[in-house]
Amino acid sequence: MIRYALAALLALIHQSAAAQTEIEQVVTPAGITFWLSQETSIPIVSVKILFRGGTALDPDDRPGAATMMTGLLNEGAGDMDALAYAAASEEVAARIGFDVGRDTLSVSATMLREVRAEVVDLVRIALHEPRFDDDAVERVRGQMMSIIRSNQSDPGELASHTLFAHAFPDHPYSRPTDGTPESIAAMSVEDLRRIHRAAIVRDRAFIAIVGDVTSDEASEMVDRVMVGLPTSDTALPQNAADQLRGGVHTIDLPGGQSRALFGHAGIERDDPDFMAAYVMNHILGGGGFTSRLTEEVREKRGLTYGISTFLTSLDHGPLYLGSVASANETIAEALELVRSEWARMAREGVSEEELEQAKRFLTGAYPLRFDTNAKIADILAGVQEAELGIDYTHERNAMIEAITVEDIARVAERLLQPEHLTFIVVGQPQGLDTVSDPAQQDALLR
Amino acid sequence: MTLTSRLTGLIGLLLSLIPSTSWSQVETHRLDNGLEIVVIPDHRAPVVTNMVWYRIGSADEPPGKSGIAHYLEHLMFKGTDEIPEGQFSQIVSANGGQDNAFTSYDYTGYYQRIAADRLPLVMRMEADRMTDLIISEAVWVPERDVILEERRSRVASNPSAIMAEQRDAALYLNHPYGTPIIGWEHEMSTLTRQDALDFYARYYAPNNAILIVAGDVTLQEVVTLAEEYFGDLPPSDAIPERIRPQEPVAVAPRRLVYADPRVQQPYVIRSYLAPERNAGAQQDAAALTILAELLGGGPTSVLYRALVVDAGIAVSAGAFYNGTSLDPTSFGLYAVPADGVDLEQAEAALDAAMADFMQTGPDAAHLDRIKVQVRASEIFARDSQVGLARAYGAALTSGLTVEDVDAWPAVLDTVTAEDIMRVAQQVLDLRQSVTAQLRGTPEPEAAQ
């Protein structure tokens, strides 16, 4: 009985509401543009700043520079050493974080409304006047070395490092974002100051503020943080031609399970067919418990705890990637299923019913992402960095609704290249026709 | 993610910010069949989080059946007499919702996040699978393979996780907290469909469950829906009291070494048996929570300062404690040595820093800063309806009441330096501890 009732409920579903967050574009007195979403029910404010650049700005001989510099931003600034800075943050219960990826350096700060001026000053001095004191540099150097050591036996890190090395030879993306033992050992304060100058620049910043502040109050915060930052003097990297053309590369790591990272070239974020690719990915491997790959590899055969695929919108070389882990004895079967589902999607596309289900999920779940101030700030800064426009959060669901099975068939045929699927397998897989990777094997030796 | 949090992640610890989540606007109700209801209103967006928590976890499993609570949690998605096999998550998804579940020592929880107007659907589906689960012959073996793969991913691939299991097994001489939630592999591989059905029949009933709904709803709306969908489910009179084997008086400090060739960053970690939060008596747990912050809560903490900043002997050091637990929990200390420092030196430095702290006690300004953060965390917590729902669910399945959760921030706020030193003296007793070393080679490494 409930079966009929459920069917009826499905039929009754209305076009889901777009995300309701109201966004305002504000220009500060100093001329800096940011996005604001006011939310006055809780007396807190979240700030997100993305600086375009990230570890892709690392000099060729200093991989890890941006990561190490970012790790030092809250290790002493202005007239405060590391401990004084940390104590000052604790005194106002500031939640300040700095992080860096291949394309962006990010600043996240969540604070009580009443102490926003104090917190903003702490963010300001970290960005403008990091000290790079000798003792802090040595401390963070030791921490970086520890992370690099640990990465050397982490299946996910090994796979990712190897895949990027294969995908982007001679491009900054090929370099390990945490650096190498040699580059971190050699990193000087001068190197850190140089990457700081290159990465934290006013003209590559994308700023969002969400919470209990007025437009004037938020403008004051933005100007306080941003005014005085230099403009960029270092070119962003060239676009990379991805080099993934097939093959299975293994990295020996003892243990009972193999972890695989796989993929090939992806699709640009501003490609007209990006949304079609996004919906296709949801059906193939992006949709958690409901994707084709989860059904085939996990539900039907019990070969894995999790398999997923994702479009990585790197600014200078998008990839279409996936990951799966399975016992050494069964990883070959799991990867064969990946190949066959890849080929089936390229050949057949999706059914009307699959597309309808995917649309219901993607449009219904979109508003669920907007569930804390900090997450909304992340989304608004990300939308700016991707240059999607201020109406994007309101229009995005309509874009999903407009996708047809023909759109998906077209993009699947173009995007999915089963013969280019490149697999990096970390573990002791059985029954795989592989090329072993001597360079990476060496990295594992202590 | 900061470098410090990445380092902490490497050793398998999630150091939370001060756990102080409560909200006075929470409302409660109880149905005649015993189902408890908690509603956490949040009208900022038209979405809800619908959760059903069962007062049943891995520490309630019968001997020899480790992992059955978690295995059943997986099988709960397979279908019912009314939901076709494999369709549970498909239906939630096709309604624009996300769903998942989790198992711990003391609880098993299921949830959906979805548009507020879909609440009737998901609540009906939860009520349906509370009593009408179907596990077909076709699904139980592949799903057992899935949990075995999950164990390989979470534990076997991660030397830190392997050592954490060994540490807990050594810490708990008698209590089932010494058995991993996911189960021991040799027992998981023998679990059957019938084991899952037996466990389900014994423990899944409205009077062993809590319905928590957070989001754009009112208590009245939730109660009306719950009456409609859960109201007719019969309570069980066979649910046993949760009395687990308790720990004997501990008399011998335990030490263990786990050597794994994959380990590139050794570390030393010690856990002590420690009291948990109890209904109406949370003071000791509050003092231990503040003690963990003083010792290990970030860059100004006692251990980080002594070992990482001042001596440069470690790349990370800290303390951890989670008081939300039905039975006695643990308090931990750790140090991750810098390159060229061996584990014995790191442990000696940890011991010296602790001895110094036990002499001098907390710095007053430091304690004040932690109190500021306690008060702020209460306000920050209101930003996350999922976080609030989880805090109430974990507490209510661990022997606490809504009143205890609501009182927790005030209890934390009243902790004094004397309270902290009293619980530190009581808990930090080597006889009730395990000191564990994770290293790459069995023998102590010579300093380089």
Q: At what angle do helices B417-427 and B283-296 cross, to 10 degrees?
A: 90
Q: How far apart are CA A180 and CA A145, in angstroms?
A: 8
**C-alpha R_g of chain A:** 23
Q: How far is CA B355 from the centre of its chain?
A: 29
CB B173 within 8 A of CB B201: no
CB B254 within 8 A of CB B170: yes
Whether residue A175 sits in one domain with residue A292: no
Q: Name which of A284, A271, A270, A376 is nearest A44 in CA terms.
A: A376
Residue A289 has what pLDDT? 83
Q: Calculate the alpha carbon distances from A411 to A314, A407, A420, B88, B108 in Å.
A: 19, 6, 16, 30, 42
Which of A99, A361, A370 is opposite residue B94, by nearest beta carbon? A361
ipTM of this predicted complex? Answer: 0.91
B423 three-class SS: helix
Q: Name which of B10, B91, B29, B70 is nearest B262 in CA terms.
A: B10
Distance from CA of B334 to the nearest CA of A (A): 15
Q: List CB contacts (< 8 A) between A352 and chain B.
A: none
Nearest CA in chain B to A370: B45
Residue A261 covered by a domain: yes
Q: At what angle do helices A134-151 and A82-91 cross, to 10 degrees?
A: 80
28-47 of A, contacting B, C-beta below 8 A: 39, 41-44
Q: How far apart are CA A294 and CA B90, in angstroms?
A: 12
**Catalytic annotation, residues of B:** 73
Residue type, A6: L
Of A192, A226, A260, the residue at which a domain comes to its end is A226
A170 three-class SS: coil
As given in the structure block, the two tokens for residue A256 are 């009972």
Residue A443 has what pLDDT? 36
Report the alpha-carbon angle A238-A241-A247, nearest 5: 145
A424 three-class SS: strand
Which of A16, A91, A257 is opposite residue B369, by nearest beta carbon? A91
Residue A1 covered by a domain: no
Domain that holds residue A44: 24-226
Residue A434 covered by a domain: yes
Q: How far does chain A reach from its first CA to its final CA, in angstroms?
A: 63
pLDDT tens-digit series, residues A28-44: 999 999 999 999 999 99
Q: At what angle do helices B364-381 and B385-396 cross, to 10 degrees?
A: 110
Whether residue A263 sits in one domain with residue A197: no
What is the domain count for chain A? 2
Whether pLDDT at A143 is above 90: yes
Whether residue A262 sits in one domain with residue A213: no
Q: Calculate the alpha carbon distances from B12 to A113, A151, B15, B417 in Å.
A: 34, 14, 10, 30
Whether residue A254 sits in one domain with residue A136: no
Q: What is the CATH number of the domain that holds A316?
A: 3.30.830.10
Cβ of residue A11 closer than 8 Å to a chain B Cβ = no
Cβ of residue A263 closer than 8 Å to a chain B Cβ = no
Whether pLDDT at A212 is above 70: yes
Of A163, A191, A226, the residue at which a domain comes to its end is A226
Which of B3, B46, B97 is opposite residue A17, by nearest beta carbon? B46
Ranges of residues in chain B whose predicted pLDDT is under 50: 1, 16-17, 446-448
Residue A243 has what pLDDT? 85
CATH of domain B3-15+246-439: 3.30.830.10
Residue B24 has what pLDDT? 65
Residue B9 has what pLDDT? 67
Residue A239 covered by a domain: no
Distance from CA of B145 to the nearest CA of A (A): 5
Q: How far apart are CA B116 and CA B47, in angstroms?
A: 5
State whether the Cα torsion A200-A203-A208-A213 is positive or negative.
positive
Q: How far apart are CA B139 and CA B78, in angstroms?
A: 8
Of A226, A258, A288, the residue at which a domain comes to its end is A226
As given in the structure block, the two tokens for residue B212 are 């928590």
Whether residue A275 sits in one domain with residue A208: no
Residue A123 has what pLDDT? 98
Q: Name which of B6, B12, B59 is nearest B320 in CA terms.
A: B12
Is the Cβ pair A90, B372 closer than 8 Å? yes
Which of A41, A290, A363 is opposite residue B90, by nearest beta carbon? A290
CB B225 within 8 A of CB B133: no
Q: In what order do the strands lie in the sheet with B254-259?
A: B254-259, B433-439, B267-274, B329-337, B314-321
Q: How far apart are CA B29 and CA A386, in angstroms?
A: 47
Report the alpha-carbon angle A337-A339-A344, nearest 5: 90
Distance from CA of B98 to the nearest CA of A (A): 7
Predicted confidence band of residue A26 (pLDDT cuts 50, 70, 90):
very high
Domain with CATH 3.30.830.10 in chain B: 3-15+246-439, 27-230
Q: How far apart are CA A288 and CA B101, in angstroms?
A: 13
Residue A216 covered by a domain: yes
| Of the listed ranges A35-39, A334-338, A422-426, B20-24, the one predicted with least confidence | B20-24
Question: Where do we find the tokens 């058995």?
Answer: B179
Q: How far apart are CA A417 and CA B374, in angstroms?
A: 53
Whether residue A213 sits in one domain with residue A279: no
Report the alpha-carbon angle B253-B257-B263, nearest 5: 145
Whether residue A339 sits in one domain with residue A222: no
Beta strands in A63-133 (DSSP E): 76-77, 80-81, 95-100, 104-112
Residue A323 covered by a domain: yes
Determine the average pLDDT of the residues in A55-84.
Answer: 97
CB B321 within 8 A of CB B428: no
Whether residue A310 sits in one domain with residue A203: no
Residue B20 has what pLDDT? 53
Residue B25 has what pLDDT? 84
Q: Which CATH superfamily is domain B27-230 in?
A: Metalloenzyme, LuxS/M16 peptidase-like (3.30.830.10)
DSSP A315-379: TTS-EEEEEEEEETTTHHHHHHHHHHHHHHHHHH---HHHHHHHHHHHHHHGGGG--SHHHHHHH
List the single best residue of B78, B315, B438 to mutate versus A (max A Cβ within 10 A).
B315
Residue A8 covered by a domain: no
Residue A440 has what pLDDT? 44
pLDDT tens-digit series, residues A87-133: 999 999 999 999 999 999 999 999 999 999 999 999 999 999 999 99
Q: List CB contacts (< 8 A) between B93 and chain A.
A: 287-290, 357, 360-361
Residue A184 covered by a domain: yes
A239 three-class SS: coil
CB B359 within 8 A of CB B339: no
Q: List CB contacts (< 8 A) between B7 and chain A.
A: 143, 146-147
Q: How far apart are CA B171 and CA B163, in angstroms?
A: 12
